[in-house]
Amino acid sequence: MTSTVPALGTRTAEGSALQAVLLDMDGTLVDTEGFWWDTEVEVFARLGHTLDEAWRDVVVGGPMTRSAGFLIDSTGADITVGELTVLLNDGFEDRIGRTLPLMPGAARLLAELAAHGVPMALVSASHRRIIDRILASIGAHHFELTVAGDEVARTKPHPDPYLIAAAGLGADPARCAVIEDTATGVAAAEAAGCRVVAVPSVAPIPPAAGRTVVPSLEDVNLPFLQGLMTL
């Protein structure tokens, strides 16, 4: 599940031009974007600082080092990025240990894609320790590989995670559908040359060329994703 070694060959889903589906995790498959913000608020409160609600849109969906650095710079907290990263991961793990709600339509979509043999990869800016915990609830068996934010030199908004995932599935990025919930993730997928379905979780995402915006995963199924390849 953790390998990013490219697989041999390129497969298709029942003869369609869709070769693979690459999915973000937080806010896309699991309703955890609020957990990250609540954790950040709690950790900084312990450090003696109050976070501005407006900063939530800045840190959502980004790599932890970028979010941590922004919050340290904004608050002047006396803590390093490395120290803060540990505290945030610890706090988040505590929250997902209590509850981990899936986004509406997530379980149905994963089951449908798996039933039709569509190769899938999970592509997240979260660290490996977090991904492995959440996979137990999402269903690790759905994914042929997973890409974690702390396992790539450049994570989202850079295209690297999605290029790695496509290569690992033996797929052409232009024939991959990506499902994302944040502007950061959308930017990464589009830079990789993928077709993108945006399902905004915290901040709005406008439609654009090669990008389709829907309100919920309930609006996404296999024919919908196959249709993106003809746009």
pLDDT in tens, 116-141: 999 999 999 999 988 998 998 899 99
Neighbour order of strands in the sheet with 195-198: 145-147, 120-123, 20-23, 176-180, 195-198, 211-213
The whole-number average pLDDT for the span 215-229 is 96
* The model's pTM: 0.77
Instruction: Give the helix/strand (H/E) hosting 200.
Output: none
Q: Is 189 helix (H, G, I), strand (E, B) or coil?
A: helix
Higher local confidence (pLDDT), 58 or 223 = 223
Mean pLDDT, to the nearest integer, of 14-25? 85
pLDDT in tens, 68-85: 999 999 999 999 999 999
Spell out the SS3 assignment of 53-86: HHHHHHHCCCCHHHHHHHHHHHHCCCCCHHHHHH
Residue type, 157: P
Q: Where are the alpha helices (DSSP H) in 160-217?
A: 160-168, 183-191
pLDDT in tens, 135-192: 988 999 999 999 999 999 999 999 999 999 999 999 999 999 999 999 999 999 999 9
Helix (H) or strand (E) holding 219: none
Residue 6 is predicted with a pLDDT of: 36
| Displacement of CA 115 from its chain's centroid (Å) | 22
CB half-sphere exposure, 18, CA atoms < 13 A: 26
50 has pLDDT over 90: yes
